[in-house]
Amino acid sequence: MSNAWSLHSDASGIVWLTFDLPGESVNKITTSVLSELDECLDRVAADTSAKALVIRSPKESGFIVGADINELSRIRDADDAKAKSAAGQAVFGKLAAMGVPTVAVIHGACLGGGLELALACDYRLVTEDDKTKLGLPEVSLGILPGWGGTQRLPRLIGLAPALTMILTGRPVAGRKAYRMGLADGIVAAAFAEDQGRRFIESILTRAGRGRVLKRRRRSQPALLGGLAANPFTRWIIYRQAARQVLGRTRGHYPAPLEALRVVRRTYRRRTLASGLAVEADGFSRLACTSISRNLVRLFGAGQRLKKAWTGEADPKRKPIRSVGVVGAGVMGGGIAWAFSSAGLPVRMKDINWDAVTGGTAAAAGIFRAMVKRRKMTEGQMNLAMHRISPTIDYAGFASLDVVIEAVVEDLEIKKQVLREIESHVRPDTIICTNTSSLSLGDLAAALDHPQRFVGLHFFNPVNRMPLVEVVGHGTTSQATILATVDLVRRIAKTPIVVGDCAGFLVNRVLLPYLVESAWMFEEGTAVERIDGLLEGFGMPMGPLTLVDEVGLDVGHKVAKVLEGAYGARMQVAGVLGRAVESGELKGKKNGRGFYLYDNGHKKPNPQAARFVQEARRLDGIKAGELTDAQIIDRAVLIMINEAARCLEEGVVDDPEVLDMAMVMGTGFAPFRGGLLRYADERGVASIRARLSELAEAFGDRFRPAPLIEKIASEGGCFYKDSEA
């Protein structure tokens, strides 16, 4: 037994069932936890003095984060999956059938199986704390809610809002849960016990129960309820939901469609018992798919990353309480936003007030979008913006704990700025660079105290990209690395520590993919065909669309840096140079790149195609027809080849870390499990053979990396569990 549950009855007959999983910072549901809960429910049912059952958690992290991910990864087959679904349904069914009112008191995370447990209660009481989130995120793991969520949630809050929660996996805040009828009461976290007791005592009366049920009915407008009762209207809702799912996932993720199928087959058409059987069947079809296994692995990898690179803090180092940003462009403004939104004061500098105003405008734009999406209030936005103080000199920098350089990507300019920063800060101030391609060692040469210098590479747009590369160089101290990693976590980003090289990890692996796509365009393949095939492979956007998003001028500059570092295998396609030199094609920012952009619409740019002829002549390229498989493999396998070199050189030493970096930093198809997981599933020997074919047809840049040769010759894989 896990001894995770404890029962206590008070003098008024209220039974308090407390969930506190031993040795864990969060509550999660395991097989033993379910078994123990089952026994506790039997004891409550046998207690004739019990008047109500209240389920709560004392953990600061929240109520219940869901099922144990490790148990999910160990599901053997469809029968095993169905049995696990049915077991959870049975226990929660017993909770739903208790002879006394049941209440879930929810503070913090209430996700997945945690919310399904709460849905089995008669009432849900939430705190108004910002940490309180209720959701069913199972589709993000390639499965569907299998313990009653697809059945009880639509019955409680209505078809359309339930589908939104189930099919997107996005949680709702406690306040919204109360407004939509998912929660029956809302209390201040500081007074949750006293206010919760009053709520519980009220529902023990007929009048109190009547008020709750009346409010629950009001939370769902009569019109919506009436529409959902109409079969034709339900058909429209289902069709629209399917369109939205396919638009969002391009059909790569079966879980949302299967969840929709389950709801469609059961809502208003079956009893709860028969609906649960359909749910268990749907769960069993998903839980053992390669897509689910890949998504579960990535989730586990993400959890491990949260605990990586932690250590004893330097007792001599002051806590980081203030940040400076030098360079107030779009990236500098985004970085300032990230720290300000985390509650840290930010001093932002540039060479003139116009530039500084641009940076503050960039930060304000992100905050305004959050207000529009109701992620924050106007008052909270104003408070956050007041934490950003602009300047055109180094006044105030002497008191800062961290300063981040985010100026133009030019080695000499950056070295000059870093020297200036060092002369205006304390000896213990951490100095960071946001360079995306330049070597840290080259930049560190400008500093007198390089041990406190570190790379802090944010990805654009900062507010949407969760990854930050933390880059040490030869003399960066361990204390500096640890302090920087901790700082990144404080702003709710995921830090990945990588070695120093041109492009670091993500850009070094991604740039060959972008440049190879430009080569294929130069050879005569239509831009929309290249992008369409790579989107079909699972990339979030086509490579040439991505170049337009980054900016042809910016992308070309970074690509030339990598070409200088790695030579012929990263030679930049001439068409990129021709387009940039013209000064006319900059990408989305001026409406002209590989595509033309007009009022949210895009179409291939014929002007870009005109640069191809001259580029072919100068590069000695002949037009040719490529197969779909060649286009995909040239773009994807060249990334795998470079990723193998990064492992060889120790830029990172773990394929899991590399895959997480590519998923979080580039959006590489999560359903494929990551770049190297995809290589393992396809077979490293097969990858080697295909690279050799491409090398013969298109050049030595495709010659298999030594690590690929080694793994293939040994019949192995990048991941040890793949070999098992």
Domain-located, residue 305: no
Same domain flag for 532 and 468: no
Provide Rg for the chain, Cα atoms: 28
Among 24-28, 301-305, 588-592, 642-646, which range has the highest average pLDDT? 642-646
Domain-located, residue 70: yes
The pLDDT tens digits of the residues spanning 155-197 come to 999 999 999 999 999 999 999 999 999 999 999 988 888 888 8
Confidence tier at 244 by pLDDT (50, 70, 90): very high
How far apart CA 179 and CA 176 sit, in angstroms, is 5
The pLDDT tens digits of the residues spanning 442-484 come to 999 999 999 999 999 999 899 999 999 999 998 999 999 999 9
Query: Which pTM was predicted?
Result: 0.90
Same domain flag for 437 and 405: yes
pLDDT at 86: 97
pLDDT at 46: 95
Domain-located, residue 312: no
The pLDDT tens digits of the residues spanning 486-527 come to 999 999 999 999 999 999 999 999 999 999 999 999 999 999
User: In a 10 Å sphere around its CB, with 0-12 CB exposed, 13-18 middle and 19+ buried, how is residue 562 labelled?
Assistant: buried
Confidence tier at 226 by pLDDT (50, 70, 90): low
Q: Where is the domain boundary, 439, 471, 498?
A: 498
Q: Where is the domain boundary, 244, 271, 288?
A: 288
Cis preceding-peptide flag for 466 (omega within 30 of 0): no
Domain-located, residue 249: yes
Domain that holds residue 246: 5-288
456 and 431 Cβ atoms separated by less than 8 Å: no
Flag the least confident range among 242-246, 306-310, 343-347, 528-532: 306-310
Percent of all residues in the chain with a pLDDT value above 70, rounded to a whole number:
98
Same domain flag for 152 and 226: yes
The pLDDT tens digits of the residues spanning 67-93 come to 999 999 899 999 999 999 999 999 999
404 and 323 Cβ atoms separated by less than 8 Å: yes
Confidence tier at 221 by pLDDT (50, 70, 90): low
Confidence tier at 1 by pLDDT (50, 70, 90): very low
The pLDDT tens digits of the residues spanning 88-107 come to 999 999 999 999 999 999 99
Task: Report CA-CA distances (Å) from 134 to 56, 216, 264, 718.
Answer: 15, 17, 23, 37
- The stretches of 250-377 forming alpha helices (DSSP H) are 254-266, 272-286, 290-307, 330-341, 353-372
Same domain flag for 89 and 181: yes
pLDDT at 580: 87
Split into its structural domains, the chain has a count of: 3
Whether the predicted pLDDT of 312 surpasses 90: no
The pLDDT tens digits of the residues spanning 323-375 come to 999 999 999 999 999 999 999 999 999 999 999 999 999 999 999 999 998 88
Confidence tier at 320 by pLDDT (50, 70, 90): very high
How far apart CA 169 and CA 163 sit, in angstroms, is 10
The pLDDT tens digits of the residues spanning 256-277 come to 999 999 999 999 888 999 999 9
Confidence tier at 2 by pLDDT (50, 70, 90): low
Give the domain CATH number at 433: 3.40.50.720
Two tokens at 612?
């191809």
Same domain flag for 331 and 443: yes
The pLDDT tens digits of the residues spanning 641-690 come to 999 999 999 999 999 999 999 999 999 999 999 999 999 999 999 999 99
Of the candidates 457, 473, 556, 601, the residue annotated as catalytic is: 457
Q: Is 457 a catalytic residue?
A: yes
Domain-located, residue 165: yes
Locate tokens 């949750």: which residue? Answer: 192
Domain-located, residue 409: yes
Whether the predicted pLDDT of 289 surpasses 90: yes
Query: Helix (H) and strand (E) counts for the chain?
Result: 32, 22
Same domain flag for 534 and 493: no
Q: Mean pLDDT for the chain?
A: 93
Same domain flag for 428 and 478: yes
Q: Which long-range contacts link 565-571 to residues 24+ away (Cβ below 8 Å)?
A: 565/439, 565/501, 565/502, 565/503, 566/502, 568/700, 568/701, 569/512, 569/700, 569/701, 570/511, 570/512, 570/515, 570/701, 571/515, 571/701
How far apart CA 512 and CA 516 sit, in angstroms, is 6
Same domain flag for 244 and 337: no
Q: What does the pLDDT average to over 396-424?
A: 96
Bridge pairing between strands 453-458 and 467-471: antiparallel
Same domain flag for 488 and 527: no
Q: Where is the domain boundary, 478, 498, 518?
A: 498
Give the domain CATH number at 624: 1.10.1040.50
Domain-located, residue 300: no
Whether the predicted pLDDT of 315 surpasses 90: no
pLDDT at 420: 97
